[in-house]
Structure 1
């Protein structure tokens, strides 16, 4: 390795070490809605932006200058700010906007838990060590952050919702139940593509209560509150579990899957939509391992899983894998049936 290569690696690692600083600045500009205040083409003076955001121009300039060094926004020497390809992704009108991720990943619940990540190495759950409560209890008690979580799930940058709708034929279904369906974005994507089925969003009472009538596709979507640890609604042709199992331990996942199995008739299908973790990080996607560590920070034994680990869950649940469907997203669709 040459001295030049060593210095390149040193600088790259140094920037990774200080990545939390970049994350926090991105959260700041997302909270200000700053990307929406800059036209897609053209620019605005820093003083105009500061006035629009009700903040001081000088510190805002310093934040934007630092972000521009990472390719987020462009700023001229005379203080005019315009979009870069990266900063456009922070606009709320951008498909799969990263505005919501910038606010969610650094929200207080997650931020404080990552501050005590070492608790996981002693067998504790960092979120519980930080907040003295479970992640879901925290979200119930912090409604603003819970709704931020819902918005982030609806705009997750892996394009999972449209990828699911495009990769599976739902045309033969009469009823689709989205278990742990959040604010219903995935189900809306599916029903928009397939006009015949109806849908049910099944999630915690506080989650479904936050879904406004206009988000229910003129009555095609019903909502039902409850816990998938107790039961799953019966009578659906297709059940969806989209990025649910990675929130839970193996024992909890098997309990959820058994309740799904109990609700399904012999012809029903369960679609488990998850990112299947590549065992070798040399060829896997970095985002997958970051999410895996996030699950550890939030829930302790929850995790992203390899294909073999999903097989083990199914073996204990009374369900069998029919096929795995690739999508245009990092997630895959595991089609599962009762056995």
Structure 2
């Protein structure tokens, strides 16, 4: 919703520079600042030493983030967590750290190609990286891990709400088409162990899902199928 307390000129200016904020969040996630502040407030100099960064520049970044409610500066010149920065910790339920990392690298560069995409209909990712995104992820395990973690963090609350609301009685086999790393199917099978789950996705994707299914203890109730949803 637009902020009615500011003028349209100010509102549009705020949106124009929105990528500044997203990139600041990305840098904070990449440096692990929220993880470093988990044990309590620390100075910019201390954080710079821990992250191998330039202290004055890091201080300016922290102050800019604090202006957005991400971290807070104390009277002693140290920085502490806020509810928003807590979401960037790697060890909290529903962490958004993986999402910040994913969106701040390859995906961020793709948005710079939006005009060309609209003109030609070509996808930005293939223009920049020479192959479809899921082929790229199959060759880049760390990016694939971030993608899976980001998707899990995005769908976590929605999955819980769906499971609370939906009546699965009478269903024997449940197929999750394009089910990614299996996180949604895992939660369904945990709540409904009598179901048999079928996970359908690209070969590289379902292979990444196997360890999670095994670790969740639902492997006996599932089958993975390789394929392309659009074919």
TM-score range relative to shorter protein:
0.7 to 0.9
Q: Is the 8 A contact 1:201 1:221 kept in 2?
A: no
Q: Is the 8 A contact 1:171 1:196 kept in 2?
A: no
- Aligned partner of residue 155 in structure 1, secondary structure: helix
Provide closer, same or farther for how the CA distance between residues 74 and 132 of structure 1 changes in structure 2, counting only shifts above 3 A.
same
Q: Which runs of 4+ in 1 moved over 4 A?
A: none
RMSD: 2.5
Structure 2 distance, partners of 1:114, 1:70, is 23
Give, in angstroms, the shift of residue 158 of structure 1: 7.0
Structure 2 distance, partners of 1:131, 1:154, is 24
Structure 1 distance, partners of 2:128, 2:146, is 20
- Aligned partner of residue 183 in structure 1, secondary structure: coil
Q: Which residue of 2 aligns with 1:22?
A: 21
1:204 corresponds to which of 188, 191, 202: 202
- Aligned partner of residue 177 in structure 1, secondary structure: strand
Q: Is the 8 A contact 1:100 1:151 kept in 2?
A: yes
Number of aligned positions between the proteins: 225
Structure 1 distance, partners of 2:35, 2:5, is 40
Structure 1 distance, partners of 2:149, 2:112, is 24
Give, in angstroms, the shift of residue 54 of structure 1: 3.5
Structure 1 distance, partners of 2:34, 2:168, is 37
Residues 231-263 of structure 1, C-alpha deviations (whole Å, 9 max, x = no match): xxxxxxxxxxxxxxxxxxxxx4xx5xxxxxxxx
Gapped regions of structure 1 (runs ≥ 5)? 230-251, 256-339
Q: Which residue of 1 aligns with 2:220?
A: 220
2:122 corresponds to which of 125, 148, 157: 125
User: Does 2:2 align with 1:9?
Assistant: no
Provide closer, same or farther for how the CA distance between residues 70 and 60 of structure 1 changes in structure 2, counting only shifts above 3 A.
same
Residues 270-319 of structure 1, C-alpha deviations (whole Å, 9 max, x = no match): xxxxxxxxxxxxxxxxxxxxxxxxxxxxxxxxxxxxxxxxxxxxxxxxxx
Gapped regions of structure 2 (runs ≥ 5)? none
Provide closer, same or farther for how the CA distance between residues 172 and 38 of structure 1 changes in structure 2, counting only shifts above 3 A.
farther
Structure 1 length normalisation: TM-score? 0.59
Higher-helix-fraction structure: 2
Q: Is the 8 A contact 1:179 1:228 kept in 2?
A: no
